[in-house]
Amino acid sequence: MPRILEPGEIESSADRSIPRVRLPERSGPFGARARRLRQLAAPGAIGEAIGDYLHLMAAVAEAQATALASLDPKLPSAQELERSRTHRMPPIQAGAWPREPAWRVLAAQLSEQVAAAADLPDSARQELSQVRNLPPEWFEAQADALLAGRREEIEMAAAPFVMAALQTWWVALASRLTEEVVPALEVPGVCPACGTLPVTSIVRVDNDKRSQGYRYLHCALCATEWHLLRATCSHCLSTEGIAQNSIEGGPEAIRAESCERCHTYRKILFQEKDVSVEPVADDLASLALDVLMGEAGYHRGSSNPLLWQ
């Protein structure tokens, strides 16, 4: 069985090429996310207490997977890609890349498909009905607020559904890029493709043998992953005072990595312990770990894109 590399072994592994960036596949992460959400919502699983919400988000992920297959957004030109490389800026930066009107059509389509799910609570069905009928100006204002993290402007109940459309659009963009056009940024704590903060990190043990045992941050928006040395704070990049925290008796594959320098934490997932872990789904289902970290005086480095309350 592949083993997790210890800090220090990474630097000594000069005979292998570590993928600096892992762009999302064309099929996207949403099918696997939906399956994992339903698994985590099952009786006895860590997300059972919020099982209804996880099932709702699973329906959202299934709608995202269906919609992604037909999306063909405009990609950066060769000149734009060269400029992003020269200035070491994300090529599809969330706050600057022009959104095509089609993303709003996508938001309405996702809302309609999710509303048709048989196991949807009436309150969610009503919220989705309202979202479908809101004017373009509302969608654009909410997108701006969500992508900039301006919480005071965000409509909390509608936010996961609007964010789902933005995620699907940006995954469609990122999945059509290549590693060569994604620059290494001056700020390694944000996504090199779109500039968004990571939702979690994950230590990979999967089909790409080159990345086995290495830690990657996972973008909350476009699902791009980028390498960061283990035992390094993903918020302030400190290498001192880093600890991994877990709930006694909880799943070994999910821990909260805390930093004594900046008092933030992000969850870190270990595929060696559970190969089916999924960055957004497992973070969402493990809210008890967030409560534990909050009581200990730490705050999250960034939010889960599907939970804004």
% residues pLDDT > 70 (the chain): 93
- Give the type of residue at 105: V
Average pLDDT, the chain: 91
Q: How far is CA 192 from CA 78, 90, 303, 309, in A?
A: 17, 5, 18, 27
Within a 10 A sphere around the Cβ of 19, how many other Cβ atoms?
A: 16
Mean pLDDT of 292-308: 94
Q: Which comes out higher in pLDDT, residue 195 or 15?
A: 195
Band the pLDDT of 120: cuts 50, 70, 90: confident
Q: Which comes out higher in pLDDT, residue 9 or 126?
A: 126
- Give the type of residue at 201: S
Give backbone dihedrals phi and psi of 121, rounded to 5 degrees, phi first.
-65, 150
- Report how far residue 146's alpha carbon sits from residue 153's, in angstroms, rounded to the nearest whole number: 8
Tens-place pLDDT, residues 138-188: 999 999 999 998 989 999 889 999 999 999 999 999 999 999 999 988 888
Give the chain's domains with CATH numbers: 9-19+185-300 (3.90.1670.10), 28-174 (3.90.1670.10)
Band the pLDDT of 309: cuts 50, 70, 90: low
Q: Which helix (H) or strand (E) holds 60?
A: helix 51-68
pLDDT of 130 strictly over 90: no
| pLDDT for res 145 | 95
pLDDT of 5 strictly over 70: no
- Report how far residue 249's alpha carbon sits from residue 254's, in angstroms, rounded to the nearest whole number: 11
Alpha helices, H only, 204-275? none
Residue 91 DSSP class: T
Least confident of 4-8, 57-61, 272-276: 4-8
- What is this structure's pTM? 0.92
